[in-house]
Amino acid sequence: MGRLGASHSLAGSGVSAHFRHVHAGKSAGLDSMRAHISKMVKARCAAKGVQMFVIPGGLTPYVQAGDIGIYKSFKDKLSPIIDSWKKSDAVLYTRGGNPKPPSVETVANWVNVAWRDVPADVVERSVAAAGFSPRFGNWHVARHDVYGELFCSKWKERIRENADDASDSGGALSEDCFDEFTIWDSEESV
């Protein structure tokens, strides 16, 4: 099977596995990896009634809570545990003198300990910075060196339009208020 066929097959199985419990009315934010934006993935999302949105390349670290702060804290907690294991008598070696990997149970225990030690405020701040804070200026993407200013101006424009729509309709928001918006860099071709 060629490279495209393998990728195509993996994308299909991945969608099935990850979307098994996803129901109509939900949204899925995916990065712009080719397998994620394939026709098959789009068709499966459409068939399940899942709204799909794609995060442009290079912006995922600005909108995913894990990338914003959680993973660093988690890795900072996990590294000393691994280092301690490496220096301990618990490490088993191959006949060639290379260390064998730890058991799955050992690694699962490390992850459990490290995750419990990640401060709740790190998780809360990271989730808020990923866009779950009412103050968009605090969102990590608002501070992006290239798109931050454009994002803020587009978001403010959207807020004004939604306020105008609400006042035009006597306070009730129309469905159009919730349409997606896209930031286009007019200097680059897309």
Kindly indicate the confidence band of residue 104, based on its pLDDT and cuts at 50, 70 and 90.
very high
C-beta of residue 31 within 8 angstroms of C-beta of residue 54: yes
For 94, the token pair is 């191959």
Mind listing the pLDDT tens digit for each residue in 76-94?
999 999 999 999 999 999 9
Between CA 151 and CA 140 the distance in angstroms is 11
10-21 pLDDT, tens digit per residue, is: 445 555 666 666
Rounded-to-integer distance, Cα 79 and Cα 117, Å: 12
Tell me what percent of the residues of the chain surpass a pLDDT of 90.
29
Q: Given this model, what pLDDT does residue 27 score?
A: 77
106-140, pLDDT tens digit by residue? 999 999 999 999 999 999 999 888 888 788 888 88
What residue spans define the domains of the chain?
3-55, 62-132
- Which of 121 and 4 is assigned the larger pLDDT? 121
| Residue ranges with strand state E in the chain | 27-31, 51-55
Q: Give the global pTM.
A: 0.58
At residue 173, the pLDDT reads 44
pLDDT digits (tens, 9 = 90+) for 60-72: 888 888 888 999 9
pLDDT given at position 146? 84
pLDDT digits (tens, 9 = 90+) for 158-169: 888 887 766 655
pLDDT at 43 over 50: yes
